[in-house]
């Protein structure tokens, strides 16, 4: 009886377009006791009707996503992060895909937060978190989803983040491939603002070099002027190398020991 009661509550919730709930909501709104609701939720999770993200947070799985074990992360990420009380934005390769740069779609859903958070696996969706102290100040866009909206870094924020978090974005060659797809949507003034916010000169230099290499001549001009005013030292293009024996690109003061290898 408890399972049937909870199942009707979940069916009604899904019918109204809501695909997540807190366990406390299930108890309060279904009329079940805490223990009865807990057991019913466990049984429904075991048979795939629900997917657990946290002990207190569940995702309703519609029939068309039964094989994946959960609907796309975009359907529930806003509710999850609200429940976790953690500021966030969809970032890096996941954000790039939202902006049309899906050349290398990530196998994980990548979020930027203000603290270290352990990865979460919901069904077949892996959510990975990356910490940045600039989360609340970074430029974001509220992108509509089938269930509402989610916070996504702008193309400009995404571009500098890809260089800053280069290792988890597939290293510099993959980053350059993705930025090439983003280049046409980058606004020079907004890009400079995003770079100034993080105040990371070496990665600003690397980003400028990449933009030149991918054929975005109008985008880097403001960025180059800002960098030149700071008279930076030379940095290796690949942060995991010293750049020894490389040729210096004097526009960006970047030591290039081997050319970028971008996929087309």
Q: For residue 140, with 0-12 CB atoms within 10 Å meaning exposed, 13-18 middle and 19 or more buried, which class applies?
A: buried
pLDDT per residue, tens digit, the chain (264 aa), is 466 789 999 999 999 999 999 999 999 998 889 999 999 999 999 999 999 999 999 999 999 999 999 999 999 999 999 999 999 999 999 999 999 887 666 789 999 999 999 999 999 999 999 999 999 999 999 999 999 999 999 999 999 999 999 998 888 999 999 999 999 999 999 999 999 999 999 999 999 999 999 988 778 889 999 999 999 999 999 987 766 667 999 999 999 988 898 876
d(CA 201, CA 206): 9
CB 96 within 8 A of CB 158: yes
* Class level of CATH domain 2-65: mainly alpha
Alpha carbon separation from 260 to 21, 101, 197, 220 (Å, rounded)? 46, 18, 26, 18
CB 33 within 8 A of CB 27: yes
What are the residue boundaries of the structural domains of the chain, listed by start? 2-65, 73-256
Q: Are strands 125-131 and 109-113 parallel, antiparallel or unpaired?
A: parallel
pLDDT given for residue 264 in this prediction: 65
pLDDT given for residue 257 in this prediction: 86
pLDDT given for residue 5 in this prediction: 84
pLDDT given for residue 219 in this prediction: 82
User: What tokens were used for 198?
Assistant: 């993080």
Predicted model pTM: 0.92
CB 100 within 8 A of CB 185: yes
Q: First vs last Cα of the chain: how many Å apart?
A: 58
């Amino acid at each position: 009886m408890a399972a049937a009661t909870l199942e009707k509550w979940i069916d009604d919730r899904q019918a109204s377009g809501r695909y997540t709930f807190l366990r406390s909501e299930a108890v309060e709104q279904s009329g079940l006791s805490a223990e009865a609701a807990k057991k019913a939720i466990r049984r429904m999770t075991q048979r795939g009707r629900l997917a657990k993200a946290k002990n207190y947070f569940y995702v309703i799985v519609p029939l068309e996503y039964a094989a994946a074990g959960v609907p796309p992360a975009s359907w529930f990420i806003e509710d999850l992060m609200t429940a976790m009380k953690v500021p966030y934005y969809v970032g890096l390769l996941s954000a790039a895909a939202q902006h049309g740069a899906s050349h290398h779609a990530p196998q994980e859903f990548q979020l930027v937060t203000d603290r270290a958070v352990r990865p979460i696996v919901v069904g077949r969706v892996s959510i990975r978190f990356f910490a940045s102290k600039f989360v609340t100040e970074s430029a974001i866009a509220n992108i509509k989803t089938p269930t509402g909206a989610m916070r996504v870094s702008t193309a400009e924020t995404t571009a500098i983040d890809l260089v800053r978090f280069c290792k988890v974005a597939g290293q510099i060659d993959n980053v350059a491939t993705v930025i090439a797809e983003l280049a046409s949507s980058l606004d020079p003034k907004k890009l400079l603002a995003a770079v100034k916010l993080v105040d990371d000169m070496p990665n600003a230099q690397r980003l400028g070099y990449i933009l030149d290499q991918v054929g975005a001549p109008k985008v880097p001009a403001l960025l180059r002027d800002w960098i030149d005013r700071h008279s930076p030292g030379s940095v290796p293009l690949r942060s995991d190398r010293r750049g020894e024996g490389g040729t210096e690109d004097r526009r960006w003061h970047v030591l290039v020991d081997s050319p970028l290898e971008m996929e087309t």
